[in-house]
Amino acid sequence: MESSYATVGDFAVVAIGSSLGGPRALEYIFSALSEELRVAILVSQHMPKGFTKALTARLDALSDFKVMEGCDRHRTQVGEALIAPGGYNMEIASGGYIRLIKPPPKTTPTPSVNYMMKSVAKVYGPRGIGVLLTGMGNDGAEGMKAIKDAGGATIAQDESSCIVYGMPKAAVAAMAVDVVASLSVIPSAIVQAVDQPTRISARFDLMVLEAVDEGLLTLGYNLRQAIYCYVEERYHLKRDRIPGRLEILHGALETSLSTGARVLEKVIAEKLYNKLGMNFENRNEWNLLDYAQQAKKATQKTRTDQKSHAGIASSSDQIAV
């Protein structure tokens, strides 16, 4: 995955995949989205060669966005929507440029939703938004998972509003979907997903809760083992008295819980930063504050690298002109 997303613009990219029933769903979404939304849109609708021209013209007439078929070397721009031409797979390449790939004969389905979404995840990272609409099969599930894993948002059409609940169902089953919504709600869900800070904050909170759950399971196991050992060592001293047994249990809990908070924090910290993909050396005795300091350093380094890459890209563009 590319280390810097700054060289492809400061806007989000919405990647929409659809199949059977998709044209009507696309018409609804495109007519509802405002040109004020700072995004570029990519669409892969399963269609034979030649049929996407009519779809493109229809969406262009309904939308505030400038809708056109994707073509090689076109650079994605805010306010544009690019439809993958029938018979081709469309991807975003480095620098935000469109690339059309002719798939091998008899390859289905095309245009491939997975192909498009995986490239968006690779190039745009957390600024990618995946939307999977009605359709047969499972195309798009892997692409949605790639976008979600890269920090982007994913939205799937619900069963009740789908003509065929195949592709969204597969993505939900793959745990690749953040929001399941009816067609009438999807435009507003896209608008909310464009709010990147909110999206990242919500996903971070979810990761914290997951890390706490895993940490508590680990802590529970460790406490249980510690109590068993403590009781085993001291049980024979007061074998016959119930009050004595309760005293032993109290001592076991007190001894075990005295270090519980530190153990739990360490477990949560390690689980959380593994989920974030931040792997640091010599972390055995770290707590959350130690991890926070290392995360700040890593973030600062990434921003410095991004500015450097952006400056190089800008210089290259000027030279090319």
Return d(Cα 139, Cα 13) in angstroms, integer: 19
76 near 40, Cβ under 8 Å? yes
Decide if 46 is catalytic.
Answer: yes
193-to-29, 306, 311 alpha-carbon distances in Å = 14, 23, 28
- Mapped onto helix, strand or coil, the DSSP state of residue 90 is strand
* Active-site residue, selected from the candidate residues 19, 63, 112, 256: 19
How does strand 39-45 pair with strand 128-132?
A: unpaired
Other beta carbons within 10 angstroms of residue 3's beta carbon come to 9
On the CB side of 208, CA atoms within 13 Å amount to 8
236 is catalytic: no
Burial 121-145 (b: 16+ CB within 10 A, else e): bbbbbbbbbbbbbbbebbbbbbbbb
Amino acid present at 246: L
Nearest to 184 by CA among 25, 308, 302: 25
Q: How far apart are CA 297 and CA 281, in angstroms?
A: 14
Decide if 113 contacts 138 (C-beta within 8 A). no
65 closest CA partner among 182, 190, 172: 190
- Two tokens at 81? 């929507």
DSSP for residue 8: G
Contact, 170 vs 141, CB < 8 A?
yes
- Distance, in Å, from the CA atom of 144 to the CA atom of 248, rounded to the nearest integer, reads 53
Q: Catalytic residue among 18, 44, 46, 63, which?
A: 46
Is there a catalytic annotation at residue 19?
Answer: yes
DSSP element (H, E) containing 45: strand 39-45
**Catalytic residue selected from 139, 161, 178, 256:** 139
**Annotated active-site positions, please?**
19, 46, 139
